[in-house]
A and B are shown apart, each in its own frame.
Chain A
Amino acid sequence: MSRDDELLAAGDAALARLERGDAELVIVDDTSELTRFAGNEIHQSVAERSRYVRVRLIDDNRVGVGEVRGFGEAAVERALHAAEESRRVGTGSGVSPLPAPDHRAGGPVAFAPATAAATPEQRAGLVSIVTGAARAHDVNAYGALSTGTRTTAIVTTAGVRRAATATQASVVSVARGDDGGGYASRHSADVDALDVDGLATEVVDTCERNQGATAIDPGDYEVVLSPYAVTDLLEHLAWVGFSALATQEHRSFMRMDERLMSELVTIRDDATALDVFPFPFDAEGVSTQALRLIDHGVCAGVVYDTPTALRDGVSSTGHSLPQPNTRGPLPRHVVMDAGTTPWKDMVSSVSRGLYVTRFWYVRDVHPLRTVITGMTREGTFLIENGRITRPVKDLRFTQSIVGALDGVVDVSRERRLELGEGESGVLAPWLRINRFTFSS
């Protein structure tokens, strides 16, 4: 029996024990391993095997949730009991019903057998590619290489019965020399397809170019942002504005059908895209639809879960987080459409500006205005007369994301798959932006 079938059968058995009301059972089985390195040595290497059962019970217009991290029938029983205990004290209003099956064909799932079978020895060997490259260039490498397999099964009394198993492999590294560092990352469903050699070359190269940075005055600069930095912009935009709940609560920047950004900017959420960790359904078991959020700079759509869809009289787009919640739905497969310019040519159009490798510690300052702040890190370079001339010390920026995307003047034809801070997949290009505000 496959892991998918095993979890579905466990869910069926639990539902059969239910005496009354509606119920949703989510069972998630996780195997994750991670090898971490610092100063060209492996200093932490860990493995975790766990399963959790989450039960949402709805009866008498009250909802309760019980979640137990543990294995076997006893865990299911405890989760059912906890859900009933919490359901009993509900207030009897505002309860969202379980969605019916949508009968859409299952989309692709990011899965690779090699990732599921990865060993500690294999991870150590891949790490040694990075640390070896660093040693060869007399710098130190730091980072982590992880592999993971997750099976998610959802069964409900409304007839939803879905399961899928996904894998993920990631390597992230910082290389540090005497006076500066570089950064690179790679992500894939398939550990065998993880470009560790490419990462090692990139992180060491950026590190070597970023030695002896000098200070530069804060202010407004034209910038070329790498996909690492663009990912932060897109992820924060998703958090503060692409949710139907945010629009319903009047806290989103989105103004439907209005152009707020450059015509070069098209942003979608696409859980079916093969290159952004595809996964076919959301936390309610609803098929996740691909949709345009920003279409050539115009506000085009937001994502829905069942409660927000009911409120607006539309169908869920399949972007629910575990219900019930007060955060609302969330796009987790954000894709920015590519342009036509090779990224290496983007710098040549800049007479004076900055190339930013990555941002760090980005936080929302004013969500309605999409103002964020953060620092540049591990590779900020001055561009003069179409060429990168020297590294500069890290700068703090305080900038509206919508304002930045309104200033996009070029989008690269290449894109990179990144993982945002919230572990969502993001497919991001390089961007040239005509004005970006660095505050200190």
Chain B
Amino acid sequence: MKAAIFDGIVLGLQYGLLGVGLTLVFGLAGVLNLAHGQLAVLAAIIAALTIDAGSSAGVAALVGILCAAVIGLLLDRTLMQPVYRLRGESRVLLGLLLMLGVAFVIDGFLEWRYPIEALSLRIGGDPVPILGVNMRVGSLWASGIALAAGAALLFFFRGTTTGRAVRSVIQNEEGAQLCGINPAFVRGLIFALSGALAGLVAITRSMTSPVTVTEGITLTTLALIVAVVGGLGSVSGAFLAGILLGIVDRVSSFYIGTYITTIFLLAAAAITIVVRPAGLLAPRR
């Protein structure tokens, strides 16, 4: 049981990192990025190809993350422009459909050109005992990176002028404009950041299990569940939801079986929507 919970926390930190990129873009731009998981896989494959070309793992990881950030920015500057001209429901719908298209394109391209490519960044070393549970080195690295990323995000949003400007646009776009803040700049920044986070989660995930070209849809679904449970737009909510769902995932597969975990995760999301429609830590409005 203790091992299952520890595994759940390790997994949950990855879930949090996955969900936070999706939740930020939704909170800011009203776009549900259904290509978030595919963007992560794309970063993983770019990193794998960079390694194949003779690069070190560290450089390859940076290349993958950077490419995902650039693709995020490009999506904002091109495909998302007609979305921003709409308001309310039609905005959410168009953004969702366009991003679904992007997901299909990335999936199709990767399965066509690189069907057997995968990223696996094994980190060697003996398991490290923590409170009596043997933890793999790769898991510890992945968790450490996710925690550091979460802390960096919280510092960015609470403690920096630019981070405050991002939150101000999320809370009241017109008010932000009247303070001299350019919402278009903030959107580009957050799309790039979200892309980089997708790339980062692909890298940390590959430290515990290979990231293959078909994994995009799984990652997108998980990101959606985490974002819904955590409250769309909430950074700390995404990490809290990620950890809770990670524990649900591991404990249910430990006691019942892996086949049931997705159903449990979806049930957790459904219960959250019923009990707390705005998510665990959703901003009160």
Question: Are the chains A and B members of one assembly?
Answer: no
